[in-house]
């Protein structure tokens, strides 16, 4: 019988303590050490560098008067950051009870709360607990919002962008191409005889075929490209700063990669191919991303009518590559 493995405990929440007094730092570590981990730095500049490097920090407790960068200057940097995790970071400022000037300035700079010196243990723990729980709730809500947004724009099977996301990205890319007179092309791809794969081997094998093609498209795409599943067995690629020749070269690489793929069903390798149509802004007549995709769609069907497993780059159907 195998021994039971010990359950891995989650690490304690991490607090960044910014304080140049070792005595005060030791006192806060004593008060908070059982519930939180404290990362101690002695000035605002070190605190800012640490915040940028450590994404696990949940809350900041800072003194006001410190060398190199004051607590006020640190607050300004945190609130003016372009990163949401910094802008929303709870910051508790330590001030003396009678120092209203520092207190008011800290409020103006974005402090969430204050703790009076000398530090009272019960007050400290209560205030830190409140702001940590609030920050955790905000992070969870933001994560849920992000997950919902991703679900709304992502194809659940292939994890590519969905049709809605493709057209949203396409509208923005077309506006940029018009503004800067730059190239923009689309690829529309359809898996050949996909219905036969589903009917013969079942939908689970068909789903596997879709995932294989999705992986090939992602592998051959750039960061700035948008790769989407726009129909049952149809995929589209949005290619900024890519002319018709460059698009044709990429389309042929994709077609060839799919043809070479060792698609195994049971113990046998089955061939899989795709037909591809392309269209390019500025060359083909299109005033919208929908019209550009329609041009690519018409060429996709020319490629299929010409025998499948090929690309088509114009409307005469003769310039095909296989």
Q: What is the pTM of this model?
A: 0.62
Task: Please give the span between the terminal C-alpha atoms of the chain, in angstroms, as a whole number.
Answer: 60
Q: Is residue 79, in this structure, part of any structural domain at all?
A: yes
Q: Quick one: which of 301, 191, 199 has its CA closest to 235?
A: 191
Render pLDDT for 217-259 as a digit per residue (tens, 0 to 9).
999 999 999 999 999 999 999 999 999 999 999 999 999 999 9
- 55 shares its domain with 204: no
Crossing angle of the two packed helices 71-79 and 44-53, in degrees rounded to 10: 30
Domain identity same for 73 and 222: no
Domain endpoint, select from 122, 150, 178? 150
- What tokens were used for 253? 């690489």
Per-residue pLDDT for 88 more than 90? no
The conformation of residue 43, written as its DSSP 8-state character, comes to: S
Q: Are 215 and 298 members of one domain?
A: yes
The answer to whether residues 28 and 146 belong to one domain is yes
CB 289 within 8 Å of CB 203: no
The CATH number given to whatever domain includes residue 44 is 3.40.50.2300
- Do 263 and 135 share a structural domain? no
pLDDT tens digit sequence for 283-314:
998 899 999 999 999 999 999 999 999 999 99
Query: Which whole number is the average pLDDT over 77-95?
Result: 90
Range of the domain at 256: 163-321
146, part of any domain: yes
pLDDT on residue 317: 60
Mean pLDDT of 43-72: 92
Which of 9-18, 111-120, 161-170 ranks highest by mean pLDDT? Answer: 161-170
Q: What is the CATH number of the domain that holds 189?
A: 3.30.70.270
Q: What is the pLDDT of residue 96?
A: 79
Residue at 8 is within a domain: no
Same domain, 170 and 57: no
Q: Contact at 8 Å (CB) between 184 and 171?
A: no
Query: 1 in a domain, yes or no?
Result: no
My answer on whether 42 and 132 are in the same domain is yes
Residue 40: inside a domain: yes
Residue 19 has pLDDT above 80, yes or no: yes
Position 1 scores a pLDDT of: 41
**Is 192 in the same domain as 224?**
yes
Please report, rounded to a whole number, the percentage of residues in the chain having pLDDT higher than 70.
94
Distance, in Å, from the CA atom of 176 to the CA atom of 192, rounded to the nearest integer, reads: 34
Residue 9 reports pLDDT greater than 70? no
Same domain? 182 vs 44: no
Check whether residue 310 and residue 177 sit in a common domain: yes
Q: Is 91 left (phi over 0), alpha (psi -120 to 50) or beta?
A: beta
Residue 87: which of 32, 42, 166, 142 has the closest Cα?
A: 142
pLDDT-derived band at 46 (thresholds 50, 70, 90) equals very high
Q: Is the pLDDT of residue 268 over 90?
A: no
Q: Would residue 182 count as lying in a domain?
A: yes
* Residues catalogued as catalytic: 233
Same domain as 73, residue 30:
yes
- Domain endpoint, select from 99, 119, 150: 150
Q: Are residues 214 and 181 in the same domain?
A: yes
Query: pLDDT averaged over the chain?
Result: 90
- Of 150, 178, 213, the position where a domain reaches its end is 150
How many domains would you assign to the chain?
A: 2
Is the pLDDT confidence value at 163 over 60? yes
Is 282 a domain residue?
yes
* Structure tokens that stand for 309 in this block: 């497993």
Q: What is the residue whose two structure tokens read 């724009």?
A: 153
Is 158 a residue whose pLDDT tops 50? Answer: yes
Q: What is the mean pLDDT of residues 145-168?
A: 89
pLDDT at 195 over 60: yes
Q: In this structure, are strands 226-229 and 234-240 parallel, antiparallel, or unpaired?
A: antiparallel
Q: Let me know if residue 4 belongs to a domain.
A: no
């Amino acid at each position: 019988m195998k021994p039971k493995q010990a359950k891995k405990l989650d690490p304690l929440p991490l607090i960044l303590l910014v304080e140049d007094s070792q005595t005060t730092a030791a006192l806060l570590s004593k008060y908070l050490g059982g519930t939180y981990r404290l990362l101690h730095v002695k000035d605002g500049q070190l605190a800012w560098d640490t915040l940028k490097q450590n994404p696990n920090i949940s809350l900041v407790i800072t003194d006001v008067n410190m060398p190199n960068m004051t607590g006020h200057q640190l607050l300004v940097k945190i609130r003016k950051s372009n990163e949401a995790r910094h802008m929303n970071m709870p910051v508790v400022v330590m001030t003396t009870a009678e120092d209203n000037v520092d207190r008011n300035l800290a409020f103006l700079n974005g402090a969430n709360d204050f703790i009076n010196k000398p530090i009272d243990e019960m007050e400290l723990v209560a205030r830190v607990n409140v702001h940590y729980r609030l920050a955790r709730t905000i992070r969870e809500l933001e994560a849920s919002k992000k997950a919902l947004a991703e679900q709304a724009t992502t194809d659940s099977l292939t994890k590519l962008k969905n049709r809605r996301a493709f057209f949203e990205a396409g509208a923005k890319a077309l506006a940029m191409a018009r503004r800067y007179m730059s190239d923009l092309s689309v690829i529309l791809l359809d898996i050949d005889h996909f219905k036969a794969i589903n009917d013969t081997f079942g939908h689970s094998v068909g789903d596997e075929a879709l995932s294989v093609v999705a992986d090939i498209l992602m592998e051959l795409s750039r960061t700035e490209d948008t790769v989407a599943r726009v129909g049952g067995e149809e995929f589209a690629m949005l290619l900024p700063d890519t002319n018709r020749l460059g698009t044709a070269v990429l389309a042929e690489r994709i077609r060839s990669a799919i043809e070479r793929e060792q698609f195994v069903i049971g113990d046998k390798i089955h061939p899989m191919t795709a037909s591809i149509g392309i269209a390019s802004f500025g060359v083909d007549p299109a005033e919208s991303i929908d019209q550009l995709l329609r041009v690519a769609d018409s060429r996709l069907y020319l490629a299929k009518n010409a025998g499948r497993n090929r690309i088509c780059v114009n409307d005469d159907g003769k310039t095909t590559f296989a």
